[in-house]
Amino acid sequence: MTFKQEIERRRTLAVIAHPDAGKTTLTEKLLLFGGAIHVAGAVKSNKIRKSAMSDFMEIERQRGISVSTSVMTFEYRDRKVNILDTPGHEDFAEDTYRTLTAVDSVIIVIDGAKGVELQTRRLMEVCRMRNTPVIVFVNKLDREAKDPFDLLDEIEKELKIDVIPLSWPAGAGSSFKGVYNRFEKKLQLFCSANRQKSATDILEITDLKSTEAWSALGDKANRQLIDDLDVIETVYSVFDKPKYDAGKLAPIFFGSAMNNFGVRELLNCFVEIAPYPQKSVTDVREISPFEPKLTGFVFKIHANLDPNHRDRIAFLKVCSGVFERNRIYFHVASKKQMRFSSPNAFLADKKSIVDESFPGDIVGLHDTGNFKIGDTLTEGELLNFRGIPNFSPELFRYIENADPMKSKQLAKGIDQLMDEGVAQLFTLKINGRKVIGCVGMLQFDVIQYRLEYEYGAKCKYEPLSIYKACWFDGEDKNQIDDFITRKYSNIALDKYGRNVYLADSAFALKMAEDKFDKIKFHLMVNH
């Protein structure tokens, strides 16, 4: 297969949603129908079943939520699909936002009963800013849901994007029997009683006016389906691929991920219409995926992926060229040459060594602390990729050692977890106390849990009233020294030794900016 063909057969997507819309369940079923797994896992932790493949961290299994992006790869219909399952909870949104920089398209999952929710709108804003192509999967149609036409209007209004239904539900709630696939022009009714395995006993009907259709659906349901499809043909235009590629048109699919309804239709259509890897923007120039020389960037770091080996993995999105095992590449941030003997491909936490990876692929690189989020690998060119977000912490706590015998484990755990980018560590100059800054409250619980479970260290938190963490710099050294002296009790160092002002109120920050006019204050800095 040629280099061009390898690129054009790749599909790299993120699955995003508001919490509890069924995002991880859909991801699981895409893996199931894609042949990557044979039995789907239950997401809810109170079920005695195999836990979800993409929720591989212990705390995810216990709480039934996703707190970290996981990467899964499989082959389907001669396409290589890279799925990034993201956290839905807003407290972990920065992980999702960074992941969106590494994908070429997105599937948004919406609860059919709840419709468009707050986090869905926020995530769509990020997709809109990047012109990312979007497919919407309306989930949980096996429960009582809103009218499908009302949902189409709501999606169009709330997400500010044109829509076109490419599948349509046959019935709803307890009478939900399957979906009509407008993309392939056939009705598919699902008969399997086993929800954890991909159904093989699917009844396919191509003529809705046939005796078979009337018998399978019943007079009322079949008449309703025919009428609905007539309305759709009248109201909604035909599928416009360039408009979808530009992020202006969202194909809509209906189904129930838990019951295997509509997932195969979604997957079949996705691999046909979703874009292959596209151009990337850097501070120097645009990068085409078809360029022969390698470029790529680190969008995620996961510490302790395997607790038995204390490993640390940097997730690299390949943007151009071919990433080859044991070849030397240039790390732009450190200006060092690096060789990687065991780059990994993923199925959640299950890794396999790969000899080569192409644009669109996600490669796991074993890291001893060299990488930071946003770092670039090239074959010598000095460039950095744009659009990888950093976040200013909004919640702060003192972190203390709860077990003096495990101080080394605690220090190592904090050091590695901070590199993941979900929280930041500050050390007060006045007394050396450690302060953790997070965007969401749940992150404190996750850090505490992972320190104990993965590193054998226990911590406790103490309250701290801080408004913002502000990095500061300037050319007037005397004014900086004066500022540090006057605000010494609120001055800290971040993980990289940079000065940070922990302002305890908006008024205090405004006064500092006015009085020390030659100092520049920043709420976010690049790592």
Cβ atoms 149, 129 nearer than 8 A:
no
**274-279 average pLDDT score:** 96
Counting residues of the chain whose pLDDT is more than 70, the rounded percentage is 87
pTM of the full structure = 0.81
For 385-428, write each residue's pLDDT tens digit.
988 777 778 899 999 999 989 999 999 889 888 888 778 999 99
Q: What is the Cα–Cα distance from 495 to 377, expressed in whole angstroms?
A: 23
Task: Output the pLDDT for position 483.
Answer: 96
- To the question of domain 395-522 being in CATH 3.30.70.3280, the answer is yes
Residue 306's pLDDT band, with cuts at 50, 70 and 90, is low
90 exposure class (CB count in 10 Å sphere: 0-12, 13-18, 19+)? middle
Cβ atoms 398, 444 nearer than 8 A:
no
For 120-144, write each residue's pLDDT tens digit.
998 898 899 889 999 999 999 988 9
DSSP 451-478: HHHHHS--EEEEE---SEEEEEE-S-HH
Cβ atoms 316, 377 nearer than 8 A:
yes
Q: What is the Cα–Cα distance from 132 to 101, expressed in whole angstroms?
A: 9
Task: Output the pLDDT for position 154.
Answer: 97
Residue keyed to tokens 């749940």: 442
According to DSSP, residue 173 is labeled G
| Residue 383 clears pLDDT 90, i.e. is over it | yes
Looking at domain 280-378, what is its CATH homologous superfamily? Answer: P-loop containing nucleotide triphosphate hydrolases (3.40.50.300)
Q: Max CA-CA distance within the chain?
A: 88
Cβ atoms 213, 220 nearer than 8 A:
no
Q: Do domains 13-70+85-273 and 395-522 have the same CATH topology?
A: no
Domain ranges in the chain?
13-70+85-273, 280-378, 395-522
Which residues are CB-contacts of 56 (< 8 A; sequence separation ≥ 6)? 70, 348, 349
Q: What is the Cα–Cα distance from 499 to 434, expressed in whole angstroms?
A: 14
**187-206 average pLDDT score:** 66
| Residue 330 clears pLDDT 80, i.e. is over it | yes
Of residues 442 and 323, which shows the higher confidence score?
323
Counting residues of the chain whose pLDDT is more than 90, the rounded percentage is 54
Task: Output the pLDDT for position 87.
Answer: 66
Residue-averaged pLDDT of the chain: 86
Q: What is the Cα–Cα distance from 103 to 11, expressed in whole angstroms?
A: 9
Q: What is the CATH number that goes with domain 13-70+85-273?
A: 3.40.50.300
